[in-house]
Amino acid sequence: MDETRCWQAVVERDKGADGEFVYGVTTTGVFCRPGCGSRTPRRENVRFYGSAAEAAAEGLRACKRCKPAAADAEEAARRQMQEVCGFIRGSVMQGRLEERTGLKLEALAERAGMSAFHFQRKFKAVVGVTPRQYVEAIRMQTLKENLRAGETVTQAIYGAGFGAGSPVYHAVDTRLGMTPKQYRAGGADVEITWATAETALGKVMIGATDRGLCFLEFGETEAELLEQLAEEYPAARREAMAKPYSAEYAEWMAGLRGFLEGEREMSRIPLAVHGTAFQRKVWRYLQTIPAGSVQSYAEVAQGIGEPKAARAVANACGANRIAVVIPCHRVIRGDGGLGGYRWGMERKRALLDAERKRARAGAR
């Protein structure tokens, strides 16, 4: 445990570090979370512990103000739901249709050793979306990867675990913002309207087709964002959104602002993904990290089955051009430092703080 970093978190009352460790004060016999609002103790009287159980084992009692004992239960739930997320990811990525039964709510709840009702509540509190929404999100991401890899539309849809039937095709079209064939061709024969807005994290551009949202990026200027949109969809026709803006645009912006302010989870955002096979593998894994949790570059490398590729994972995170939906902000250095972030360190810290705020609110 890096005691220098831990002490800095205590001094700053960093709520983002809650759940990572607790600190005990020898003169009062009390242990607290890093973000506790109580008076900052003297450094020489402070001891750090990896869990509330460790602090209690040394005779310290839990602070009644910040209730640090609850952190252990939250962390255990987070790890359990992360394991379920890994199972879902593996089943979908392997493209086996026979796994569909195993991805139903009842089967996932049984895997976690809970009732369906309790599991659904716990999963949403930790991950931010329902199990069904999470399964669909992973399937959609797999579909996009399959299309970009050159598979036929039918192969890509079945390979992502979708069944046959027009309702499935309609849902896929809506989530991509265009037909799978058009998506695969870089937006050919598609008209994309765009608009920019100011958010808590700066200027953002949203692009949409008549089928739904297809672009979301942060940037410093409108010109910079337009260049990124052109690079993402080189074959599409791109026009500024006419004012007054549509009700759909207002709804998307309300959802984005709510997400950035820690009030809601953002899901089902259809964005294109360009990159090497390794980068796509990393980006797909990042989408399985529950909101409010973080992993190190080494842990991500281990998670994708490439334990020696931590540096390559960091490079893949740096190459990610899809903000929020591919959450590379949830990856930090092994020593606990934030590491880098394409859209700036202030945005990374703000995103993590917002997700932890939402996770804590959902757990209450």
Where residue 119 sits, what CATH number does that domain have? 1.10.10
The amino acid occupying position 149 is A
172 and 210, same structural domain?
no
Domain that holds residue 103: 72-176
Q: CA 335, CA 296: separation in Å to the nearest integer?
A: 8
Tell me if 266 is assigned to some domain: no
54 and 76, same structural domain?
no
328 classed as catalytic? yes
| Mean predicted confidence (pLDDT) in 208-236 | 80
Question: Which residue is listed with tokens 């973080």?
Answer: 294
Residue 46 pLDDT greater than 90, yes or no: yes
Catalytic residue among 6, 66, 85, 328: 328
Tell me if 256 is assigned to some domain: no
Query: pLDDT-derived band of residue 260, with 50, 70 and 90 as boundaries?
Result: low
Catalytic residue among 6, 32, 63, 214: 32
32 classed as catalytic? yes
Per-residue pLDDT of 105-161, as tens digits, reads: 888 888 888 888 888 888 877 776 788 878 877 777 777 777 766 666 666 666 666
Q: How far, in Å, are 34, 80, 104, 141 from residue 157 at the CA level?
A: 46, 29, 19, 11
Q: Which of 5-19, 45-59, 192-206, 253-267 has the highest mean pLDDT?
A: 45-59
The tally of domains found in the chain comes to: 4
pLDDT of residue 166: 43
The amino acid occupying position 179 is T
Lowest pLDDT segment from 78-92, 114-128, 159-173, 320-334: 159-173
Residue 263 pLDDT greater than 90, yes or no: no
Of 51, 31, 56, which Cα lies nearest the Cα of 41?
31
| Mean predicted confidence (pLDDT) in 7-32 | 88
Lowest pLDDT segment from 17-21, 163-167, 328-332: 163-167
Can you state the angle between helices 131-148 and 69-93, rounded to 10 degrees? 40
79 and 30, same structural domain?
no
Tell me if 271 is assigned to some domain: no
Residue 273 pLDDT greater than 60, yes or no: no
Three-state SS for 205? strand
pLDDT of residue 28: 93
Q: Which of 168-172, 260-264, 309-313 has the highest mean pLDDT?
A: 309-313
Q: CA 132, CA 145: separation in Å to the nearest integer?
A: 20
Query: pLDDT-derived band of residue 43, with 50, 70 and 90 as boundaries?
Result: very high
